[in-house]
Structure 1
Amino acid sequence: MTDRAFRNLDNLRASASTARVLNLLRVSHEHGRTDGWRAAPLFENSTLNRCLVIKHRLRRNEIDAFRVRRYVATKIILPIDGSDLRVGGRYIFVDQVGFDAMLEQALGIGPSHPDRKILALIDELPSLDPFLLREQLRRNGHAPDPCYFNVSEADLMRMSDFVASEITPLVDLSIGPDADLAAENPVARLTAKIMSNSAGEDMSALGQTLMLRPEEYEEGVFCWKGFLYYKWALQTITGDIGWVVDSVRRVKPRGRVDTEQHVAIDRAKEQVRRRILITCEATADMLRVYDDAFRGLTREGRPTAFRDFLRDAPILFARLGERLGAIQHIVSFWKYRMTGDRSAPGAEELLDLLADFETSLSGRERPDVLALAA
């Protein structure tokens, strides 16, 4: 299929969200000459390794393209001209009817090709945030270069102040709260190190304090950045979550609604509201595991608590990312559909939306992984 007007792909590149878009074309432009990008690509196929991967909420006319009913799909866009995205691109959905034939015809990728497995792993995820994606691939034996898991520049800029405030207690512990911060700005330096892909020598003292081997230390810093990212992400959408919960309660379908639809809508609205709140609570509880460990390091003189947390963090990553991904999907699409001059959805569309949201949250509200912190 060809999509020449996908809301202007050039605009998509400029405003990409790490939770919704994986812009491999940009990764290739920024890192294509590095040894890591060439030696450990995300996809073996060079064209696929320069595509755009998008978590796409299916329109009504797209749902029938799948054998199994679903509401969100993984959209692969192959730009027609990588130097000018305004030209548009060809696109296919992962696992749509005839997907394997389309993939083999367009890219020469057969059902047994390694890239086919990677696409399936990506399709399983509720979002494309870099930490969740990396963990999904890692636990399935695939380790692309770190350049594929960068947080977007826009998110980095918004996140930096938050991270600086979070790590100030660690800086105070290291140099004392009364040090002249303006002279060397150690908070800014440590923030930059945490947000980069490599811990660097400036943080080697922390690794020694935590008694971590070099490989554990590098992995630990990545996990630390991941939890800071998730904590920031939840904080940035907290107000929107309250609005969505209230809006779901108040929404009324447009047009004629029969008694059976009324009952189904009321049940679905209550289920979605309940699951959003429980999922948010479970997510906050998981983040408190990190807060307790960091407080043990910076306030209570227990560095082993933070070390143990960093070692266990990958186990928590997948569930935490899935929960936040589901919440972010609900918030972003509900805002898109219910704001501006758009008319209220009809009964059938509203039931579809609520079913999508309920499915996204299903099984993700249980705080089962919190037992790891016990």
Structure 2
Amino acid sequence: MAAEVNALRETLASGASRIFNVAAITHKLETDAGGEADQYLFGHRGLNDSVFIKRPKDAAAPVRTGTSGTAEILENGQLRTITFDMTARVEKGDIATFLYIPFDIEAIAGGGNSLDLSVARGRTEALYNLTGFRWEDEGRAIARDRRLIELIEELPSLDPFLLRDRLETDGIKAPEAYFEISDSEFQEIKKYILNKFEPITTRVVDPASPKAAEITEQFIMKLWEGKDLDYLAPITQVFRINPEQAGEIYYSWKGVTYYEFQYKRGQRTLLGFADWLHTKGAVPSHYVKSEIRQELEEKVRQVTTAFARHLKNSSEILRIYNQAYEDLFVRGGDARPFIEFLKDSSTLFWDIAASISAMNHGVAVWRQHTAKSRDGKLAADDLTKLLSLLDRVIV
């Protein structure tokens, strides 16, 4: 476990969606403005010096199914088909949340202590030993901090949009400085998701009603919040949703739609990384002996296979979603595929989050290490280090 956590420490500066660097933002607030208590995310000072990290659990790594999948990757201007082992879906509970406390707040990546929050045994004592936070204490501030930690754990990734939206939906006010997303970007994503929600209202709103527009808007916002389940009961019944699971299902649908937006927006960058792996970019910038070149080529194949699996998984989940959505809301056909999508939406949400987070983490690390290189090429030693790191983070 230590090796994997160390690999993530090396990439704290990448801004990847698996990392929520509370400590860095807190330190910046203290440096820039001296810092008032209400400027910080947590009420407890020790928690504001933390970094939250998401990654698949080792013990819950996807099990090989014995089947194969394929993906098409651009190579030398042409599409090349790659075959790779398929794995079981990533589900809620397969992703661990680590709390990392650096030894030195001014050198966050220089080392520290970490705690796997998903391991219940001894967690309360370990959290106190690391941060001084007493989980069992009473008080409004303590309760708020506990809920913040729980919400972070309940998310499949630490994307700024998901963090901000989840806290707002839960009624928790938090300083905007901790969410590295502009309001305009947040509203753009929100608009995309709300537009996806709108067709569902035709199942419960009479278009001939003089208040149809008002009711439609209200219904969409209730669906966005996913909390007033009594109000949403008609649509819950229409789509045969278990009322006890309705809140999670509506939030998961929103989450899958968010990752659809992110996938579309970042597709060119993902393909740029794939192109680097399959063209002359992922080769040493200078001559090396044949055995070293062969070792590097094997590392490239390993990284490519992992990346291709996540790319294929993401596109397949979105294919399932959009085919079911269009069959019902665009073509007015069979509702059963969309009902099946909703039933499986929680797993699909965590699964696509794991794949897109893995790819984005890899891309962020790749950009960080090749930013100053010519044509993305690195010296053999630097390329070896980068490929080894990519092999550890694209999981």
TM-score bracket, normalised by the shorter chain, equals: 0.5 to 0.7
Structure 2 distance, partners of 1:309, 1:292, is 10
Aligned match for 2:361, one of 305, 329, 334: 329
Distance 1:257 1:104, change over 3 A: farther
1:272 corresponds, among 285, 288, 303, to 303
Contact 2:17–2:158 at 8 Å: present in 1 too?
A: yes
Name the residue aligned to 2:51.
53
- Tell me, in whole angstroms, the C-alpha distance in 2 between the residues paired with 1:334 and 1:240: 11
Matched, 1:170 2:169: no
Aligned to 1:6: none
Deviation at 1:198, TM superposition (A): 2.6
Offset of residue 54 of structure 1: 4.7
2:256 alignment partner AA? F
In structure 2, what is the equivalent of residue 139 of structure 1? none
Q: What displacement does 1:240 show?
A: 0.2
Name the structure 2 match of 1:239: 268
State the 1:264 CA deviation: 1.4
Structure 2 residue matching 1:345: 3-state secondary structure: coil
CA distance in 1, matches of 2:391, 2:208: 51
Provide the C-alpha distance between the structure 1 equivalents of 2:319 and 2:114, rounded to a whole number of angstroms.
Answer: 36
| 1:215-270 Cα shifts (integer Å, max 9, x gaps) | 32212111111211221221121000111111233223245633222111122223
Amino acid at match of 2:191: D
CA shift in 2, pair 1:16/1:247, >3 Å: closer
TM-score calculated relative to the size of structure 2: 0.55
Indicate the RMSD between aligned Cα atoms, in angstroms.
Answer: 5.2
Contact residue 17 and residue 357 of structure 2 kept, 8 A: no
Asked whether the equivalents of residues 18 and 152 of structure 1 are also in contact (C-alpha less than 8 Å), the reply is: no
% of aligned pairs identical? 22
**2:18/2:54 contact within 8 Å kept:** no
CA contact (8 A) 2:160 2:181 kept: no
Counterpart of 1:324 in structure 2: which amino acid?
I
Whether the 8 Å CA contact 1:132–1:317 is kept in 2: the answer is no
Higher share in strand: 2
Q: How does 1:26-41 map to 2 (within 5 A)?
A: none
Q: Is the 8 A contact 2:115 2:127 kept in 1?
A: no
How many residues get paired? 293
TM-score, length of structure 1 as denominator length: 0.58
Shift of 1:338: 2.0
Tell me by how many angstroms 1:213 deviates: 4.4
Q: Deviations over 1:47-68 (max 9, x none)?
A: 45444425499xxxxxxxxxxx
**Are residue 225 (structure 1) and residue 224 (structure 2) matched?**
no
Aligned-partner SS, 1:94: strand
Using a 3 Å threshold, how does the CA distance of structure 1 residues 296 and 206 change in structure 2: closer, same or farther? Answer: farther
User: Do structure 1's residue 345 and structure 2's residue 378 form an aligned pair?
Assistant: yes
Aligned residues of 2:46 and 2:133 also touching (Cα < 8 A): no
Cα distance 1:171–1:16, how it changes in 2: closer, same or farther (>3 A)? Answer: farther
CA spacing shift, 1:18–1:244, aligned 2, 3 Å: closer
Would you say 1:355 and 2:388 are equivalent positions?
Answer: yes
- 3-state DSSP of counterpart to 2:344: helix
SS in 1 for 2:51: strand
Does residue 131 of structure 2 align to residue 107 of structure 1? yes
The answer for the alignment partner of 1:198 in structure 2 is 227
Is 1:161 aligned to 2:165, yes or no?
A: no
Q: Which residue of 1 aligns with 2:236?
A: 207
CA contact (8 A) 1:132 1:321 kept: no
Distance across 2 between alignment mates of 1:75 and 1:233: 27
The structure showing larger relative contact order (alpha-carbon pairs under 8 Å, at least 6 residues apart) is 2
Distance 1:178 1:161, change over 3 A: farther
1:310 aligns with 2:342: yes
- Kept in 1: contact 2:101–2:113 (CA 8 A): yes
Summarize the Cα distance change of 1:182–1:236 in structure 2 as closer, same or farther, 3 Å threshold: farther
Letter in structure 1 aligned against 2:267: T
Q: 1:282 to 1:261 in 2, by over 3 A?
A: same
Q: Which residue of 1 aligns with 2:33?
A: none
Q: Mark the CA change 1:93 to 1:107 in structure 2 (over 3 Å): closer, same or farther.
A: closer
- 1:76 is displaced (CA, Å) by 3.6
Deviation at 1:322, TM superposition (A): 1.7
Residue 292 (structure 1) aligned to one of 300, 311, 323:
323
- In structure 1, distance between residues paired with 2:180 and 2:211: 28
Which residue identity lines up with residue 266 of structure 1 in the other structure?
Answer: E
The corresponding residue for 1:281 is: 312
Could you say which residue in structure 1 is the equivalent of 2:60?
Answer: none
Letter aligned with residue 198 of structure 1: K
Letter in 2 for 1:314: S
2:20 counterpart letter in structure 1: V
**Is residue 197–residue 222 contact of structure 1 (8 Å, CA) maintained in 2?**
yes
